[in-house]
Amino acid sequence: MSDSVPKAEPLISEGLGDAEPRARILIVDDDERNAFAASQALESLGQELVVARSGEEALRKLLVDDYAVILLDLHMPGMDGYETAELIRRRRRNRDTPIVFLTAVFREESHIFKAYSAGAVDVVFKPVDPFILRSKVQVLVDLHLKTQEIERQSEHRRRLLEENALIHAEKLAAERALRRTEERQEAILRSLPIVFHSRTLEPPFAPLFLSAGVDALTGFTASHFIDEAGFGLSRIHPDDVAGVIDGLTSAAKLGGYSCEYRWLCADGVYRAFLDQGLVTPGAEGQTAEIIGAMMDVTDRRTLEQELGQARKMEAVGQLTGGVAHDFNNLLTVILGNVESIERRVTGDERVTRQLAAVRHAAERGGALTQQLLAFSRRQHLNPVTVELNGLIEAFSPLLRQAVSEAVTLVLDLAAEPLHVHLDAAQFEGALLNLAVNARDAMAGGGALTITTTRLAGSEDWIQVTVRDTGAGMDADTAARIFEPFFTTKDVGKGSGLGLSQVYGFVRQSGGEVSVDSKPGVGAVFDLRLPISSQSPVARSPFPTPVEAPRGTERLLVVEDDPAVLALTSDWLQELGYAVTTATNADAALRHLRGRKSFDLLFSDVVMPGGMSGFDLARKARNLRPDLGVLLTSGYVGDETAVWENEFPLIDKPFERPALAAKIRALLETSAPVERSAAGK
């Protein structure tokens, strides 16, 4: 790879011509792939990209050319990023060149602090997100180019004034040229989404000039700032004022400043501004002043926050999924042994009561695990197309009972039928969670209103709105309300998983959920769900028999957890089945390749060895096309959408009657007698 990305055109360093100025960006990385990746990410900026393979090569290039920004790898052989940055900063010409460190190794806080101490303006972790890298570099390049533009304009004006004094005969021509230049500058300033400004170097840092774009940026004209010296500072968010004043105060010593703050615009909304400036010496007989640029970064910051929140939610989801797998195995063993003991112990009221307490605790643990899986969008759903209004009406008696007589439940349902493809039981659970939270927020009573409607102008979405008249929430609380384990209730009065279950279920169903609330005015939860074009089906829950059905077929049971395997095997043998066990997929395949015939494969989904229960089921069907298959898991992961319609599943923790009924139904559907005869 050459030292420089192909150049489209030479840099423009003088004049105010129509050609767009370009900046040089130095990429320092000993790894050719990383350098190429950075170059690809920044190519669309249209700037000149120069690559150096080492710190020494970078220093040689800095002796020849100036750069708008330096992307410097921290971990390099020989001269590392810290040493290179120190040498760059020693040279006066490059002292203020922004350095952005790139690292895939040094992620600890101490390294990051050291990086900033070495003169970095930012640290980006590898693998680099092209959008984030491009956004950060764009800001630095824009500041560099705009600063150069201001310096060029200042120099141009100075030359015109000198020529005016020296050549009186050309005064008129010089004035006309100056006027044309100023008009061009003004047109440029109006076309840019940036406000250029100058201000005094002493408190209250009174504005001297603001470009025309200030109206669009703030909603106020330039005269508001210039006529009232403290106007700009007075509308900065109170929490940000001290930082802005510190930055402006230190500008005289440091030669410039850069700060970000929230500013109250004319529409009453705070927006985030990035404000950067440099100290420039005044003309003869005048004091120095600050010349800078200000831009609105609200959307960019919002996007970064949303990305960070999404990554946090995904990390929590992965954690809860792993915990759920092991926890549901434990619950399966606990509930299974409780059920076995209950069948053997009769007449002892004390033991029966103790077993009931154990069962209740285990079932509560299972419910909490399901809520965690719901939040992480890894629960096993059984979606069907339902008519939403009818579903809510049928569920309303339970809702009225849950909110108590002090709260009035109002249903404002759409006149037209609304068909949605979802898990009806999970939707009812989400409504119940919202209703219980609303009840707790209306301690003195109130009204809970559930509204359904097709979104205006949309053929794809319907909205369920749950509105209460309770105490409401502030913005910080509302921003965290869907996080697992976050609760505003007293200790012991809430797990903090109810609303996280609502969030996870709606998102897993292809929808969106949001909350709008203010203290004292209640809360409004909006659940947006995709409309289904299919016809609704009647709900027919599969009844779990009190007595487990029996059978004599041959079953292959595959489970890596010894306790779960022993329990399941004992159950099925007690019911009359011939059971062969395996602890992993490889052992199960050896049985299937043997001479012994099997009527049904019952396998866990998540197993060690690199082959899941889903993979095993497909291989088993290839070996024995008539083999029945039933899968089980307490956590099915992201691949459930691929196979959930291919193989039936029973969720952990399962109990003996439910498992026996499921196996019996599958065997009878698959004509096990004929298959067994064929295998003999």
Asked whether residue 305 is domain-assigned, the answer is no
CATH number of the domain residue 500 falls in: 3.30.565.10
Higher model confidence: residue 354 or residue 196?
Answer: 196
For 211-247, strand residue ranges (E) read none
Share of the chain above pLDDT 70, in %: 82
Say whether both 426 and 327 belong to one domain: no
Q: Which residues touch 125 (CB under 8 Å, ≥6 apart)? A: 102, 103, 104, 107
Asked whether residue 86 is domain-assigned, the answer is yes
Asked whether residue 538 is domain-assigned, the answer is no
Mean predicted confidence (pLDDT) in 283-301? 82
Q: Which of 296, 322, 345 is where one domain is finished?
A: 296
Would you place residue 556 in the very low, low, confident or very high pLDDT band (cuts 50, 70, 90)?
very high
Q: Looking at residue 70, what is its pLDDT?
A: 92
Q: Looking at residue 52, what is its pLDDT?
A: 92
Q: Which residues touch 521 (CB under 8 Å, ≥6 apart)? A: 472
User: Sign of the CA dihedral 292, 297, 300, 303?
Assistant: positive
Tokens at residue 20, please? 């767009």
Say whether both 328 and 450 belong to one domain: no
Q: Which of 145, 175, 205 is where one domain is finished?
A: 175
Asked whether residue 280 is domain-assigned, the answer is yes
Q: Looking at residue 502, what is its pLDDT?
A: 83
Do the strands 384-387 and 419-422 form a parallel or antiparallel pair, or are they unpaired?
A: antiparallel
Long-range contacts of 606-610 (CB under 8 A, 24+ apart): 606/325, 606/633, 606/635, 606/636, 606/637, 607/558, 607/559, 607/560, 608/560, 608/584, 609/584, 609/585
Asked whether residue 118 is domain-assigned, the answer is yes
Q: CA 668 to CA 673: how far, in whole Å?
A: 8
CATH number of the domain residue 268 falls in: 3.30.450.20
Say whether both 102 and 241 belong to one domain: no
| Boundaries of domain holding 355 | 314-371
Say whether both 70 and 150 belong to one domain: yes
Q: Looking at residue 532, what is its pLDDT?
A: 87
CATH number of the domain residue 72 falls in: 3.40.50.2300
Asked whether residue 536 is domain-assigned, the answer is no
Say whether both 164 and 18 belong to one domain: yes
Decide: 631 and 654 in contact? Cβ < 8 Å: no
Q: Looking at residue 677, what is its pLDDT?
A: 32
Q: Which of 109, 140, 175 is where one domain is finished?
A: 175
Q: Looking at residue 202, what is its pLDDT?
A: 83
Query: Between the CA atoms of 70, 74, 77 and 83, what dihedral angle is there, to the nearest 10 degrees?
Result: 70
Say whether both 352 and 232 belong to one domain: no
Task: Please say if the pLDDT value at position 146 is more than 50.
Answer: yes
Which of 310, 311, 429, 432 shows the shortest CA–CA distance to 371? 429
Say whether both 148 and 247 belong to one domain: no
Q: How many structural domains compose the chain?
A: 5
Residue 409 one-letter amino acid: L
Q: Where are the alpha helices (DSSP H) in 575-671?
A: 585-593, 613-623, 640-643, 656-669
Task: Please say if the pLDDT value at position 642 is more than 70.
Answer: no
Say whether both 271 and 202 belong to one domain: yes
**pTM of this prediction?**
0.43
Which of 408, 482, 416 shows the shortest CA–CA distance to 444? 408
Q: Looking at residue 491, what is its pLDDT?
A: 45
Most confident of 3-7, 106-110, 183-187, 627-631: 627-631
Say whether both 124 and 3 belong to one domain: yes
Strand partners, 386: 420
Higher model confidence: residue 484 or residue 420?
Answer: 420
Asked whether residue 181 is domain-assigned, the answer is no
- Of 426-435, 450-459, 497-506, least confident by mean pLDDT is 497-506
Strand partners, 204: none
Asked whether residue 544 is domain-assigned, the answer is no
Task: Please say if the pLDDT value at position 602 is more than 90.
Answer: yes
Say whether both 269 and 246 belong to one domain: yes
List pLDDT tens digits, range 538-553: 655 444 445 678 888 9
Say whether both 120 and 170 belong to one domain: yes
List pLDDT tens digits, range 206-220: 888 888 788 888 889
Say whether both 336 and 461 belong to one domain: no
Share of the chain above pLDDT 90, in %: 14
Q: How far from each other are the two terminal CA atoms of the chain, in whole angstroms?
A: 67
Mean predicted confidence (pLDDT) in 167-195? 74
DSSP state at residue 358: H
List pLDDT tens digits, range 162-174: 777 677 666 777 7
Decide: 11 and 22 in contact? Cβ < 8 Å: yes
Q: Which residues touch 39 (CB under 8 Å, ≥6 apart)? A: 5, 27, 49, 51
